[in-house]
């Protein structure tokens, strides 16, 4: 990939993404690139989840341990079904209630989901973000993208565009700055592969709300 470190430098973070911005980002994704983007929760590193070369680049960029899976961003229920198999009946209720938004669901992965994405385990973490940038890129690519945080593994989350460019600008193919800045709170991560939801990480959505929806779906 050429143009390493290219940056869209609209300093007004409320400005909407232009068609030119999205087209450049999507082209990088289609050719195995890694793009730094804002989401509703944190800045993230986006790549095609079915492109193993791109996934390898994310691990290298972040210095991420090989045994840590990469989370996935989707644009709705149909793409969740593409990533998962044997979804529990209550999954649809959780999606209806909390997507788009700050709830990541850990589900059993579909057979064609790359082991590199999931670090070799049988589950995958999936979320639909409430932000125009990732949703637009997912639609342009025609498939899910990675949603791992845009930082070096083990270091603090980046909370400003300046920090993002400073740490990631020379590591990724493209830094896309447009739309609202992230809110700065990570998503809540819940494993729904068991009989009862299991909280894996506290975040934007209170876990008791997730339990309430799950329990109401069992009635």
Q: How far apart are CA 183 and CA 9, in angstroms?
A: 19
Are the beta carbons of 55 and 117 closer than 8 angstroms?
yes
Domain map (residue ranges) of the chain = 6-217
Are the beta carbons of 147 and 39 closer than 8 angstroms?
yes
Are the beta carbons of 71 and 148 closer than 8 angstroms?
yes
List all residues 6 or more positions away from 212 whose beta carbon is below 8 Å from its beta carbon. Answer: none
- pTM of structure: 0.91
Q: Which two tokens stand for residue 28?
A: 């990088």
Q: Which two tokens stand for residue 189?
A: 């991560």
pLDDT for residue 8? 36
- What digits encode the pLDDT tens for the residues 203-218? 999 999 999 999 999 8
Q: How far apart are CA 146 and CA 153, in angstroms?
A: 15
pLDDT for residue 16? 77
Indicate the SS3 state at residue 23: helix
Q: Which two tokens stand for residue 124?
A: 């995958």
What stretches in the chain show pLDDT beneath 50? Answer: 1-13
pLDDT for residue 19? 84
- What digits encode the pLDDT tens for the residues 37-65? 999 999 999 999 999 999 999 999 999 99
Q: Which two tokens stand for residue 201?
A: 């990480």
Q: Which CATH architecture has domain 6-217?
A: Alpha-Beta Complex (3.90)
């Amino acid at each position: 990939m050429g143009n390493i470190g290219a940056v869209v430098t609209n300093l007004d973070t409320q400005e909407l993404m232009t068609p030119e911005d999205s087209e450049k980002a999507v082209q990088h994704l289609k050719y195995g690139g890694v793009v730094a983007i804002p989401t509703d929760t944190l800045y993230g590193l986006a790549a095609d989840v079915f492109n193993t070369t791109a996934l390898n680049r994310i691990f290298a960029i972040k210095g991420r341990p090989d045994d840590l899976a990469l989370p996935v961003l989707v644009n709705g229920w149909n793409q969740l079904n593409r990533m998962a198999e044997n979804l529990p009946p209550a999954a649809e209720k959780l999606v209806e209630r909390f997507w788009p938004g700050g709830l990541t669901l850990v589900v059993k992965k579909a057979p064609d989901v790359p082991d590199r994405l999931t670090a070799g385990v049988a589950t995958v973490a999936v979320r639909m973000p409430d932000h125009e940038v990732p949703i637009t890129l997912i639609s342009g690519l025609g498939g899910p993208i990675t949603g791992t945080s845009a930082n070096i593994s083990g270091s603090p989350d980046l909370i400003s565009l300046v920090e993002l460019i400073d740490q990631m600008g020379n590591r990724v193919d493209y830094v896309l700055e447009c739309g609202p800045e992230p809110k700065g709170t990570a998503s809540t991560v819940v494993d729904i592969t068991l009989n009862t939801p299991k909280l894996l990480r506290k975040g934007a959505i209170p876990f008791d709300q997730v339990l309430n929806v799950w329990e109401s779906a069992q009635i």
